[in-house]
Structure 1
Amino acid sequence: MSDALRNAGRISVSDKDARMERVLSPSEFLPGWVIYGPLVIFWILSGLRYRDFAVATLANPHIPSGGLCNESKSEILAQGGPDATRHVAPWRTFPTGPAAFETALKEMSAAGFSFPVVLKPDIGCKGAGVRLVSSREQLRDTLRQYADDTLVMLQAFIPYENEAGIFYSRQPTEQHGRILSMTFKSPPEVTGDGVRTLRDLVLAHPRAGKVPHIYLPRLTGRLDTIPKQGERVRLVFTGNHSKGSQFRDATSLVSRQLSERIDRIAQSYPDFHHGRIDLRFRSIDSLRAGQDFQIIEVNGIGSEPIHMWSPEKNLLDIYRIQFDFYGRAFRIGDLMKKRGHRGAGTMNMLWQWRRQTALIATYPQSE
């Protein structure tokens, strides 16, 4: 096991790490049409092959659009049985509006939450609108940035520094599923020296300095401050690639114990066959033992196989991984259709995507 993976809960890239391994793939921040254009073509060709452009959404028939888009995070989590709920980070939902702040405090009290907490929209993707809220004042301010009647989720902050995305898949004909990939997520951070400004530290960082446009806008108002000697400053909170987190393919570390635990959790959700479980964990050893982790979200077929963003992956790898994972969703959905499940159709799938896109445009910037 490499040192980078052994320490991968917090993959803070040091100068030594940068010399030893690639910290940024040339393909990571290419325009969206380059990354996803071929996937759209692949989706169309698969739809023609199966005579149903929305059949992949039947891979998870109890989730709207199979989890492709516009699905409720809380409704998915609520479907889990005991094998799942004991591992899910506690959460509460409520709508935004004039009374949202008071409602949030009541929900926090009822749930036994204390600051910091995670506030995020109940419908969203790629970390849109996710904030780590550390005080009553910050909670009030963040809620005011949402449009009224937006359903939001308050979730207990899990203090483990390590975060992972585990992609699970099970054919309907199989008794047990398997982990197709496991990816460690790490928001880059800088360490203050008492001399340089935060802006200078970002620009000198071996990863962030190569794509400063990803990080600097999120630090507006702090860029000219000088962090103290030894002060660690996390550049982003959200464990999402498009927001700047670094991903490492850790599939080689998947163990039998972890596979069995994730399989029991996934099968406690009704007809959940294909998607990603995002979680925070204490240590690599405990995760491999299937212990000491808390699930943040369960995502359906729209969740990316995020190991494709690992720095060693090139553009052809990204295409191959996407075709493999989404092709599997089509095959599973076709089997579920043959078993009698019926989806809402292509037009509904497109409507769900448009509604989600419109909602995300109203959310405050994530951290």
Structure 2
Amino acid sequence: MRIKKFFEKLFNWELWPFYALYAPIGPVWLWYCLRSRSMWFFSSSNPTITFGGFEGEGKKEMYDQLPPHLVPRTIYILHDLPFTEVKKKIADAGFTFPFIVKPDVGMKGILFRKIENEEQLIKYHDRIPVEYIVQDMITYPVEVSVFYFRYPDQEKGVVSGFIEKELLQVHGDGESSLRTLIENHPRARFRMEEMEHRHGHRFQRIIPRGETFYLSYAGNHNRGAHFINLKNEINESLRNVFDELSHYNGKFYYGRYDIKTASIEDLKAGKNFQIIEFNGCGAEPNHIYDCGMNVWQAYAEILRHWKALYRISRYNHRNGTPYWSFKRGSAFLKQARKHFKMLEKYD
């Protein structure tokens, strides 16, 4: 079984580790650094987000720059706040179970949780070592990602990717245990260590026929979510929605919007949607996954986005937004990665 999984991973580029996937095109990234005379050329891409949104930025600064009516109700909790005060703060803000919690500075769905009762909240608060967010659980049925970039000297931008997300889930048949359902799942079976960590105490449970059991509520590729490519849905109406968002603060030029909406048509009409997150220049064009691309087509799409990122960053640099110094960027990146390694230990 292990040998079979090894070869399945070897011949499916979508399952390769991050560095193994990106290493062959790394010299292109280095070339942009050399042309810019800066290791951190991307830091000027989104001038009002720390490090251009490459890594380590807080969610609060992102939410504060988006239209208030399009972001979920959100409060921020210090990890060392006494729990009685946490309860009061959450109650005063009008939250009721269930709601979402996640680190203010986080990535890849690390420590993202759905909290359904006080016991789970106590456990989360006692465990998390950093400031975190309490946020409304958005009940819109459709979750999508929209990759958008706009050159600063142009009014109109490009919707370069549009996908719908299906969270990692199994469906009960009334006979199989949760463990068996996971072992037979095309993606979850590659994540058995993670699944055992999260759901091991439920592995022997028989999932009733027709019941959906969510293995993760994070809509990330690295958390096992399945993507449905909606490139045929990209049209002028959709572009207009994101052009308007890009111009809201005038400084969001490159990144990916993660959104929940009532329907694709409503999103195109600019109504009934909420922005869960805006991911800046560190965002991966995740529409390369689950759409039948071979690795060379995926590389071509990634390189197309890197070229746009370089051009946007260079323009902003020439017009008053300096690149971060090597020392500043190195120190920030070192601290950010130390932070994420710590979070992984608590996930």
* TM beyond 0.5: yes
CA distance in 1, matches of 2:123, 2:327: 38
Q: Give the structure 2 partner of residue 114 of structure 1.
A: 96
CA distance in 1, matches of 2:304, 2:330: 22
Q: Give the structure 1 partner of residue 117 of structure 2.
A: 135
CA distance in 2, matches of 1:97, 1:39: 43
CA distance in 1, matches of 2:132, 2:158: 32
Q: State the SS of the aligned residue for 1:28.
A: helix
Identify unmatched segments of 5+ residues in structure 2.
1-10
Code of the residue aligned with 1:90 in structure 2: it is R
Q: Provide Cα deviations, 1:272-323, integer angstroms capped at 9, x if missing partner.
A: 1111111111122222322211111111100111111224122222222222
Distance 1:207 1:173, change over 3 A: same
Instruction: Map 1:139-158 onto structure 2 (within 5 A).
Output: 139-147=121-129, 150-158=130-138
Distance 1:92 1:321, change over 3 A: same
Residues 305 and 325, structure 1, Cα contact 8 Å, conserved in 2: yes
Match of 2:228 among 226, 240, 248: 248
- Tell me by how many angstroms 1:244 deviates: 0.8
Distance 1:347 1:252, change over 3 A: farther
Q: Which has the higher contact order (CA 8 A, sep 6+)?
A: 1
Identify unmatched segments of 5+ residues in structure 1.
1-24
- Tell me by how many angstroms 1:92 deviates: 0.9
Match of 2:27 among 41, 46, 55: 41
Q: TM-score with structure 1 length normalisation?
A: 0.86
- Tell me by how many angstroms 1:120 deviates: 0.5
Distance 1:312 1:213, change over 3 A: farther
Residue 338 (structure 2) pairs with residue 342 (structure 1): no
Identical residues among aligned pairs (%): 28
Q: Give the structure 2 partner of residue 292 of structure 1.
A: 272
Residues 168 and 274, structure 1, Cα contact 8 Å, conserved in 2: yes
Residues 144 and 259, structure 2, Cα contact 8 Å, conserved in 1: yes
Residues 128 and 365, structure 1, Cα contact 8 Å, conserved in 2: no
CA distance in 2, matches of 1:295, 1:311: 24
CA distance in 1, matches of 2:346, 2:226: 16
Q: State the SS of the aligned residue for 1:154.
A: strand
Q: TM-score with structure 2 length normalisation?
A: 0.90
- Tell me by how many angstroms 1:270 deviates: 3.7
Q: Give the structure 2 partner of residue 329 of structure 1.
A: 309
Instruction: Map 1:28-177 onto structure 2 (within 5 A).
Output: 28-80=14-66, 84-99=67-82, 101-147=83-129, 150-177=130-157
Q: Give the structure 2 partner of residue 21 of structure 1.
A: none
Q: Give the structure 2 partner of residue 354 of structure 1.
A: 334
Q: Provide Cα deviations, 1:145-172, integer angstroms capped at 9, x if missing partner.
A: 112xx12111111012321111111101
Code of the residue aligned with 2:242 in structure 1: it is I
- Tell me by how many angstroms 1:271 deviates: 1.2
Residues 301 and 326, structure 1, Cα contact 8 Å, conserved in 2: no
